Amino acid sequence: MITAANPPLASLTAGVEHITPERALVEILRGRLEGLGPVTREALAAALGLAPNEIAAALAALGIVRPGALWWALVLLASAVVIAAELINTAIEGLADGLHPHDHPAIRIAKDCAAAGVLIASLGALAVALALVLHLLGR
């Protein structure tokens, strides 16, 4: 149960009779999920270092070897961090290109930092994958 929202749901529905707090929450969530729109399935797969069809194969492989719940959580968390970093990188690049389409040192630094964030997240996910493989080989 959600007990607090920012801004409070009551403030979103104040003065509007036909919007309930539940409907306002749905609209907030819809707005957050629309941020995934410009990112393609291929881009998300590439961020994880996989082809789109390899994601299903990797999940099937995890289902076959049956790692513990902690390993599932680590793999899913590492994947989510990589995807989030890729979304932030995409947003920064799009905003920077839209605001200043010409080459500028500050824009280049911002883009490079965002791309480095994706790289670091990807290396972290790779470390989790390597640790999982070593764990499974040691069983």
* Domains recognised in the chain with CATH numbers: 1-37 (no CATH), 40-138 (1.10.287.3610)
| pTM score over 0.75 | no
For the chain, the average pLDDT equals 79
Say which range, 44-53, 95-104, 109-118, has the weakest mean pLDDT. 44-53
pLDDT category of residue 79 using cuts at 50, 70 and 90:
confident
Residues 5, 90: Cα–Cα separation, whole Å: 27
DSSP string computed for 29-70: HHHHHGGGTTS-HHHHHHHTTS-HHHHHHHHHHHHHH---HH
pLDDT score of 31 more than 90 = no
**Per-residue pLDDT tens digits for 35-54:** 666 666 677 677 667 777 77
